[in-house]
Amino acid sequence: MTNGDTPKDVSRRAFIKGVIAGGAAVASANYLFRASTFLGQSPGAGLGERLIALNVNGQQRRVDVMKQETLAWTLRYKLGLTGTKLGCDRAECGSCTVLVDDVPLYSCSILTHTVRNKKILTIEGLAAADGTLHPVQQGIIDEQGFQCAFCMSGFIMSTVGFLKANPNPTRAELAYGISGNLCRCQDYDKILTSMMRGAENMRRGNGVL
Ligand code: FES
Ligand code: FES
C-alpha cells in the first residue's frame, strides 16, 4: 500500500483490474492507445464509480464505462464484441447497429449508461447455442450476399429488428426498413435478396410457410 491507501482501496483496485483484464479484448496497440485517451479522459479517474452491469446477449457483463462512452465503444473495446463494426461513428452508416430491447439502434450514438437496464443483442448473440445460424444469417449463405462484408453485421441486426415488427415484408418494405444501413461496396441488390431469403427462412422456421 502506498500514499495512505486503505486495504479497501487496494482490493477495489485489484477487482477493477480483474474486470478490465477479463472483459477487454483489445485488437491492437492502437486501440489500447485510443482507449487510454478516449475524449481526453484518463482511465485511472473514478473507476469505482464507473463499474456497471450490462445485459449483453443474455449475459450480465460487469464493465468499466466512462460517462461519455458510447455503446459501440464498450462492446468492441471493453467487452471484445468486435462483430459490431464502427464505420462513420456519427449515426450515418448503420454498421454499428445492435438491438436494444428488440429495436435496432446505432450503437455509436448511444451512451452506454443509458442502456444499463435494457437487453442488448449483438451479432455474436444471434446464432443458437449449438452454432446453428439465425435464419437471416443463413439467408446470406443461401444467396451469397455481400462483398467485403464490413457492413454485414449492421444489415443483419437491422433486418432482424425489422422482421420482429413485420415478418412478411415486400421487397420494397424491407428495403425501406433497412435503408439506414449503407454498403460501401454498393452490393445493395444482393444484400436485399439475402435479407428477403432470411425473412423467408424465418417464416419457414416458424411454420408460417
Ligand atoms: S458507425 Fe454508427 S452509424 Fe456509422
Ligand atoms: S459488402 Fe463491403 S461495405 Fe458492404
Q: What is the pLDDT of residues 111-131, one digit of tens each?
A: 999 999 999 999 999 999 999
Residue with grid cell 435464419, as numbered in its chain? 135
Q: Is 207 left (phi over 0), alpha (psi -120 to 50) or beta?
A: left
Grid cell of 43 as nine digits: 482511465
Q: Closest Cα partner for 198 from 135, 108, 121?
A: 135
155 lines ligand 2 (CB under 6 A): no
Amino acid at 25: A
183 lines ligand 2 (CB under 6 A): yes
Q: Which secondary structure element, helix H or strand E, spans residue 64, and what is its range?
A: strand 59-64
- At 4-29, the pLDDT tens digits run 555 555 443 343 333 322 223 333 33
- Atom nearest to 97 CA in ligand 1: 2
| Residue 32 half-sphere exposure toward CB, CA atoms < 13 A | 7
Residue with grid cell 452491469, as numbered in its chain? 53
189 lines ligand 2 (CB under 6 A): no
Amino acid at 51: L
Instruction: Return the best residue to mutate from 71, 88, 152, 179 for the ligand 1 pocket (most ligand atoms within 8 A of CB).
Output: 88
Q: State mean pLDDT over 171-195.
A: 97
Is residue 185 within 8 Å of 149, Cβ to Cβ? Answer: no
Q: State mean pLDDT over 25-53.
A: 53
